[in-house]
Chain A
């Protein structure tokens, strides 16, 4: 068959794969909702979890879509569509695709016209991050079993352990926000942009929390995270302009 990065057959195969992945999510959703009913989690809690998770996801999902658009220039639409719906994160897929393209002597932005080049990039992107996909079905039960023992042995420590994990993750990302602040010492304010964006988001979250408890606006707590996320992203636009922040591609 004649090769083209946007060949219909690629879309059909990718479509089938994505339908299966979607089916897995629906299967586990139905299973968890059923179990929630059995053990007496209120249907209100379940509904709120569903609606706020859906609302929260919109902005990050659009950011993922931006990644699909960016990669589609050299790889066509079908492959980035698959890679970013399944497994990938924007940072990984871009790096993997560029690694393969540069290895073949192609620039990061040039379109692939040759099937064997396409297959090469496809293999690099697929295998480069396959470890989670291969190992997770076999090791998850063991890891989780060990974790649950911690919670059962000492309840209070189990709870602290739980919070410590989340705090550890959050602290890494807070550190990242400050990674360029040293530019300030050379008179360049651009490194402060992520810090200011984070502060805007934090203030919105704090205000939402205060309003929700003081004025008893319940729905506000459910949508506080998406609000602070979108508020922070919106603030990034003028902040980048004022502080001279430039997006590195």
Chain B
């Protein structure tokens, strides 16, 4: 008889997440090799080096910090899925945060882990399906998706998303929200380099700052 150690749910999520993650990572890195092989083409080394030099340092640095920032918020299952399917801050995380809030569960509890996983899995599946439909119908859809009338709506999706989300969280944590919001307003208004493209870098800054403020207020009995 096999005497297998009973894994907790969370442990089994980590085990499965690791296996899926390694397989998918391998396949994604294999794809460019396969394309090279099939078409008998080698990358152009100079543009490759220049392109990587312009892209890699910044996105690897941001990506590294993002892992530490997002894992506690997304939970284990949510992390394994989100870092494969992407669009974390503009889609997966708000989706999971809203789902956990409505279900009344905390990200660090097992209930939170489950609700977050369900929400992110559903969101990934729906996104994938919508893109598949879009790719099939790309010819008739292109003029609609690119129409100048709809352009501002898609361009301003982040303000439209975070306005609603902010109401939910600020109304519940009014005292704690003052300092981080003030800091971010000052930074974004007065530092010209901060804009849509660099907001991703400011997320970890905001998170660390708010946690630090919360700790001080908590220690002083103000929360």
7 examples of A-B residue contacts, CB within 8 angstroms: A52-B102, A69-B141, A84-B86, A99-B51, A137-B25, A167-B180, A233-B160
Pick the contact of A25: B13, B124, B149, B180 (CB < 8 A).
B124
The reply on A211 being an interface residue by CB < 8 A is: no
Pick the contact of A237: B35, B90, B98, B152 (CB < 8 A).
B152
List B contacts of A58 (CB < 8 A).
126, 130
Bound-state Cα–Cα, A229 to B47, Å:
40
Shortest C-beta distance, B196 to chain A (Å), equals: 6
Shortest C-beta distance, A130 to chain B (Å), equals: 7
List B contacts of A75 (CB < 8 A).
none
Interface string of A58-102 (1 = CB under 8 A from B): 111111111011101000010001101111111110011001100
Query: Is A69 touching B32 in the complex (CB atoms < 8 A)?
Result: no
Given A53-B95, A202-B167, are A179 and B195 also a contact pair (CB < 8 Å)? yes
List A contacts of B135 (CB < 8 A).
68, 77, 81
Given A86-B84, A170-B165, are A28 and B77 also a contact pair (CB < 8 Å)? yes
Residue of A nearest to B27 (CB): A17
Residue of A nearest to B36 (CB): A119
Bound-state Cα–Cα, A76 to B202, Å:
33
The reply on B6 being an interface residue by CB < 8 A is: no
Shortest C-beta distance, A190 to chain B (Å), equals: 11
Which residues in window 129-169 of B have CB below 8 A to A?
Answer: 130-132, 134-135, 138, 141-142, 145-146, 149-169
Bound-state Cα–Cα, A123 to B86, Å:
18
Interface string of A171-182 (1 = CB under 8 A from B): 111111111111
Query: Is A53 touching B118 in the complex (CB atoms < 8 A)?
Result: yes
Query: Is B126 touching A61 in the complex (CB atoms < 8 A)?
Result: yes
Query: Is B128 touching A91 in the complex (CB atoms < 8 A)?
Result: no
Interface string of B16-34 (1 = CB under 8 A from A): 1110111111011101101
Shortest C-beta distance, A51 to chain B (Å), equals: 9
Shortest C-beta distance, B160 to chain A (Å), equals: 3
Query: Is A131 touching B60 in the complex (CB atoms < 8 A)?
Result: yes
- Main secondary structure, interface of B, reads helix
The reply on B54 being an interface residue by CB < 8 A is: yes
Query: Is B145 touching A168 in the complex (CB atoms < 8 A)?
Result: no
Seed contacts A18-B128, A89-B88, A171-B210; 8 additional CB < 8 Å A-B pairs: A31-B13, A64-B91, A100-B48, A163-B172, A165-B210, A169-B89, A176-B199, A224-B164
Query: Is A236 touching B28 in the complex (CB atoms < 8 A)?
Result: no
Query: Is B91 touching A32 in the complex (CB atoms < 8 A)?
Result: no
Query: Is B206 touching A169 in the complex (CB atoms < 8 A)?
Result: yes
The reply on A150 being an interface residue by CB < 8 A is: yes
Pick the contact of B176: A105, A136, A156, A167 (CB < 8 A).
A167
Query: Is A143 touching B67 in the complex (CB atoms < 8 A)?
Result: yes
Bound-state Cα–Cα, A31 to B171, Å:
34
Query: Is A144 touching B163 in the complex (CB atoms < 8 A)?
Result: no
Pick the contact of A168: B23, B51, B210 (CB < 8 A).
B210
Given A115-B41, A133-B83, are A27 and B71 also a contact pair (CB < 8 Å)? no
Query: Is B138 touching A85 in the complex (CB atoms < 8 A)?
Result: no
Which residues in window 135-173 of A have CB below 8 A to B?
Answer: 135-141, 143-144, 147-148, 150-151, 156-173
Shortest C-beta distance, A136 to chain B (Å), equals: 4
